Structure 1
Amino acid sequence: MSAPKIRHFVLPELAEGFVGDLDAGGYLDQLRFTGIDGDFGAEEVRFEQCEFTGFAADRFSVRNARLLQCELTQISAPVFAAAGARLDEVRISHSRFGSADLAESSVDSLLIENCKFGWLNLRGATLRDVEFRNCQFDELDLGTLQRVRFSDSRTKVLATHQAKLSSVDLKGLEFDSVDGVSGLRGAQISELQLLNLAPQLAEHVGLKISN
């Protein structure tokens, strides 16, 4: 199984960014946005080599935006709206989100570590070369994933109804239940995970288990 190819980057010296810089459809580069409360709305904005840190936002929105070589750290938001966004070479760490909607997004080389999510929605999204490290989810809803790995992570519900998986390593993801076991095709799991899934798999193929 092919491992994710996470491309490393180093941010240059950054200037201070302000909410007033955010014009829909604009282009911003080499800025640091820090300590912003309330709503952060940056829809259809292109960010290159930017950092977002220390937010306690009611809503963090980058719908249809593009983030290239950007870092998000210590972000706390009930709503993370990123549907239709394009994320290339992005790091997200030490953050907490209620609902995180990345539906229909395009993601290439993403590292997410030490984060908590209520619901992470990846339906319709395409993810390539992504790694989740030490992350917790209440519900994780998968889309099209290629070369994706989970380590030291946990979710209560793993939803795979619309999943299309290729080289996806789920061995490091603990889950209480799977919604749509047929969507696991193309994933790698451990023997223990297989044993836990046995009743659902048997029901899916119509097997009856008796003593």
Structure 2
Amino acid sequence: MAPSRQLVDLPYARHLRAFDGPLAEGGDYDAVQLDGVDFDGADCRDARFLECAFSAVTFTGGRLRGTRFNDVWLDGVRWVGTDLAATDWLDAELIGCVLAGLETFGAKLHRVTFHRCKFESVNLRTATLREVTFTDCLLRDVDFGEATLTRVEFPGSALEGVRFAGARMEATDLRDATRLEIADGHDALRGSVITGAQLLELAPMFADVLGVRVEDTGSGSGTARRTSGGRGGRG
């Protein structure tokens, strides 16, 4: 996997100019560097960021719905309670970012890489993810319901309470995830790749989804015992 880039590594680094604000709805930002800026309740819906760099920026609340991020680099950015629904991300790199309580449903992410990012209660329902990599990230209570994941990878990442109900996967690689805790949508893993060890961990949930009743024989009592960790079989 490719290491994360530094600011000086960006091909457009020498063209960056300091951001002089403010953010505006429908704004057009080209080769802008935003450094250490705090945005509280900013409204820049349908804006466009092209070849921009964000360093130690904080977004609290605010509406960025429909905004386009093309060829952007974000380092240490915090997004808290921000509306990022229907945003469009292309060739983006996010490093050490925190994303909490976000509405990101319907977003499109293509060739996006997350390095050491923390996701907490992020709504990615109906989103489209293509060639997206989560490297050494924590994804807690992330909702991929009805999303489309194509060639998505999770190397070194922990998935905790992640939901995949109704999702569609193609060549999605979960083998290198350090934790794979799925709250719902186990049947949506069709089209993904997992390890044998992960299969054993997920077996009780797969059995439950399939309506398979698992019994240990030879106990002498004739009592059915469900597999440890399962939610109960259906008779």
User: 1:177-188 counterparts in 2 under 5 A?
Assistant: 177-188=182-193
Match in the other structure for 2:173: 169
Q: Which residue of 2 aligns with 1:25?
A: 26
2:128 is the counterpart of 1:123: no
Q: Which moved more, 1:52-61 or 1:92-101?
A: 52-61
Q: Distance in 2 between matches of 1:100 and 1:16?
A: 27
Matches within 5 A, 1:56-135: 56-59=58-61, 61-135=63-137
The answer (yes or no) to whether the contact 1:9–1:69 under 8 Å persists in 2 is no
Q: Write the distance in 2 (CA, Å) between the matches of 1:63 and 1:151.
A: 29
Report the Cα distance in structure 1 between the residues aligned to 2:149 and 2:90, rounded to whole angstroms.
15
Instruction: State yes or no: 1:141 paired with 2:143.
Output: yes
Structure having the higher Rg: 2
Contact 2:24 2:43 in 1 (8 A): no
Q: C-alpha separation between the residues in 1 aligned to 2:79 and 2:26?
A: 23
Gaps of 5+ in 2: 2-8, 217-235
Per-residue CA distance 1:44-84 (angstroms, 9 max, x = gap): 10111001111233236432011110111111232243110
Which structure has more relative contact order (CA 8 Å, sep 6+)? It is: 1
Return the alpha-carbon distance in structure 2 between the equivalents of residues 58 and 105 of structure 1.
19
Q: Which has the higher strand share?
A: 1
- CA offset digits 1:112-137 (Å, max 9, x no partner): 01111112322111111110100002
RMSD: 1.9
Does the Cα contact within 8 Å between 1:102 and 1:120 map onto a contact in 2? yes
User: Which position in structure 1 is the counterpart of 2:12?
Assistant: 11
- Cα distance between partner residues in 1 of 2:10 and 2:18: 20
Structure 1: 5+ residue runs without aligned partners? none
Spell out structure 1 runs of 4+ moving beyond 6 A.
Answer: none
